Chains A and B, each alone.
Chain A
Amino acid sequence: MRIRKKEPEDVGLLFKRTKQEKLIFAFFFLLFAIYACVLIFPFIWLFLSSLKGGIEYELDNALKQAFALPDVAQFKNYFDAYSKLQYDGTNLWGMTFNSIWYTAVVTLEGVFFSSVTGYCLSKYNFKLKNLIYTIAVFSMTIPIVGTLGASFKLAADLHIYDSPLQPILSCAGGFGFNFLIMYGFFKNISWNYAEAVFVDGGSHFTAFFRVMLPLAKTPMMTLGIMSAINCWNDYTSVILFLPSYPTIAAGLYYVERELTRGYMPIYFAALFVSMLPIIIIFACFSDKIMKNFTMGGLKG
């Protein structure tokens, strides 16, 4: 017989509850369970609807049989999603390819450059250090509204509008929320590691690339996962600046606008497929995301 070993916290004083507390917790458990069902149910409905035939789905709607199960599960909808749905000549394969390169470029650049700025500003003393730090915090907390027009004009003037160069150039900044996280991380790392490299004849580059960057693997990975999820789901930047390179999020938005009757279940299948990479990433790294994502006071 296997006996479950209880975690020390489970049996601690903190988690012992009085009768009244148990009632309060039971009430909130019920609320949480209802809320969880509200969040989960639509996806079960989406999956079931993605298995219906086009005419069957329209008929069910006409008869207001929203809870009807599919007569026969049409798994071919998932194959049709890749061949039949397209926007401006780009099918779901093309959109997936665009999503992959767009996510990779924005994520790698964003995490790398915020690590660079975080490291340089936290570990070195130089003339412009305080000015750069103040500007970095200022530009993050001060809400400047309506610069989209100027950004759009700049992209047009630089001839990077609707070109992969647009995300490559515009995302090579190292400031913002990621910078603050990396700055805080490097601030707490001992400078002795770098000094050991200098004693062995290594340069500042060796210290950064060979020692400090590997030490920052955990926060960089957490920021990378968060950034990758955001980029994969980003549709507004793609609609605005890269209309000829629809990612899966932007592409599905375009597809829905042009959808004809009978194609809804295929579209639902495409939506379901588009969620899979994110769900897989989240399933693999949910612990990393949940544990490492904390925020302290922003006092600067």
Chain B
Amino acid sequence: MGGENFTDMSKKNIQSSKNTMQSKIKKFFSGQTGFLFFMLAIPIINWLVFWLYVNLNSILLAFQRASGGWTLDNFVHFWQSLTIEGNEMNISVRNTFLYFSSNLLIIMPIALMISYFLFKRIKGYKVFRIIFYLPCILSPVVLTTVFKQTIKPWGPVGVLAQELGFDYPASGLLGQASTATLTIIIYTILVGFGSNMLIFSGAMSRIPNEVLESAKLEGCGPFREIISIILPLIWPTISSAIVLAMTGLFTASGPVLLLVDGFNETSTISYWIFNKVNGNGYGGGGQYNLVSAAGLCFTAVAIPVILFVRWIMDKVTDAEY
């Protein structure tokens, strides 16, 4: 009898502790902590695995051999290939700086100018805005194929240039080292205004009309309007765009893979990394250690530069409106 009572009591105790546990779990998940835990768990795990682990492992890989064991050989190899004139890494760095400079010094200022005239509703501004933005939404595979075909010696641009008496290379503009990189840079400029144009136009549209109207009443022309009113008022957007462009210091590139597969001295750092990792295709090339060492060196240079530029940008006072 006593044994039965004891069993009943322990069963009841287990049942009540089960119920308490269940209500606690229910309370946890219906409360704020449970909600945050449930919602943020996947993004945080994803960040820990695909960002933090990848970055930490990349640092470790830089100091390891492919076969295992610690070494500084990757850095030695990287430094040698960087300092030998005409080496692929040497060419890649030079080309990357060319792409980076063309973005910062040509694409961004022209995009700003285009945005101004679209904002001021130049005739046909709605059509122009859509056409200028098209390269941003169309596939680079399509764009580069069309570009490649039109500039071949038998393509429309090639034929036109020869008709006009230009000395057009028989192998095409992409077929020789002296013109290939410049041609790809021109391509990136031609298709590169879209996103900056949209960002700058968005910022300009937030400028109060009253400010521009009163300037107009004072006799302010387009040049003065840009320099004295529009640029200071959209400065936060411009500075953000400059900081974002600076992040491309070592990653700026054109569609080298699609246009020339890195031949004719067109390689960039991004292409070099892609090529070393992908190798000949399926399964990758496996040169992760050298890529990680190079990446670590570039990142070590890029971070202080970006922080310095960001500091400078923050020093320039924003206009309030």
Contact = CB atoms under 8 A, between A and B. Distances in A.
Interface of A: 9-10, 12-15, 18, 20-21, 24-25, 28-29, 32-33, 35-36, 38-43, 45-46, 49, 60-62, 64-67, 113, 116-117, 119-120, 124, 126, 132, 135, 139, 141-154, 156, 162, 169-170, 172-175, 203-205, 208, 229, 232-233, 235-236, 239-240, 243-244, 248-249, 252-253, 256, 267, 271, 274-275, 278-279, 282, 286, 289-290, 293-299
Contacts of A156: 284
B292 interface: yes
Given A124-B32, A153-B288, A296-B236, A146 B298 contact: yes
Contact of A149 (B154, B236, B281, B287): B287
B269 interface: yes
B199 A295 contact: yes
A66 B240 contact: no
Interface of B: 30-36, 39-40, 42-44, 46-47, 49-51, 53-55, 57-58, 61, 114, 117, 120-124, 127-135, 137-142, 145-147, 149-150, 152-156, 158-160, 162, 190-191, 198-199, 201-203, 205-206, 209, 212-213, 216-217, 221-222, 236-237, 239-241, 243-244, 246-251, 257-258, 269, 273-274, 276-278, 281-282, 284, 287-289, 291-296, 298-299, 302-303, 306, 310, 314, 318
B213 A13 contact: yes
Contacts of B239: 297
Contacts of A282: 134, 137
A240 B121 contact: no
Contact of B129 (A18, A21, A67, A290): A290
Contacts, number: 302
B235 to A, nearest CB: 8
Contact of A38 (B190, B274, B306): B190
B319 to A, nearest CB: 12
Contact of B277 (A152, A208, A243, A252): A152
Contact of A142 (B53, B241, B306): B306
B132 A35 contact: yes
B278 A240 contact: yes
A297 B134 contact: no
Leading 10 A-B pairs by shortest Cβ distance: A146-B295, A149-B288, A294-B202, A297-B236, A174-B43, A204-B35, A150-B58, A143-B247, A149-B291, A61-B154
A142 B247 CA distance: 7
A39 B202 contact: no
Contact of B146 (A35, A45, A65, A162): A45
Given A66-B156, A174-B42, A235-B140, 15 more contacts: A14-B209, A29-B122, A35-B132, A49-B149, A62-B154, A66-B154, A66-B159, A116-B39, A143-B250, A144-B295, A145-B302, A149-B61, A152-B277, A295-B240, A297-B236
A172 B111 CA distance: 33
Contacts of A208: 35, 39
Contacts of A253: 141, 258
Contacts of A293: 198-199, 202
A148 B247 contact: no
Contact of B289 (A24, A149, A240, A275): A149
A277 B50 CA distance: 31
16 contacts: A32-B122, A66-B158, A116-B43, A132-B40, A132-B44, A139-B47, A142-B303, A147-B55, A204-B30, A204-B35, A252-B145, A278-B139, A293-B199, A294-B199, A294-B203, A296-B237
Contacts of B250: 143, 145
A51 B213 CA distance: 53
Nearest to A154: B54
A116 B277 contact: no
Contact of A235 (B123, B141, B282, B310): B141
Nearest to A177: B244
Nearest to B34: A204
B138 A150 contact: no
A19 B133 CA distance: 30
B206 A294 contact: yes
Contacts of B198: 289-290, 293
B310 A141 contact: yes
Given A62-B154, A153-B57, A116 B159 contact: no
Given A132-B44, A208-B39, A235-B141, A145 B295 contact: yes
Contacts of B269: 145
B150 A240 contact: no
Contacts of A38: 190
B298 to A, nearest CB: 4
Contact of A141 (B39, B162, B243, B278): B243
B269 to A, nearest CB: 7
Contacts of B240: 295-298
Contacts of B150: 42, 45
B202 A151 contact: no
B139 A275 contact: yes
B154 A271 contact: no
A40 B191 CA distance: 12
Contacts of B296: 146
Contact of A67 (B42, B53, B127, B156): B156
Contacts of A46: 142, 146, 149
A25 B223 CA distance: 12
A27 to B, nearest CB: 10
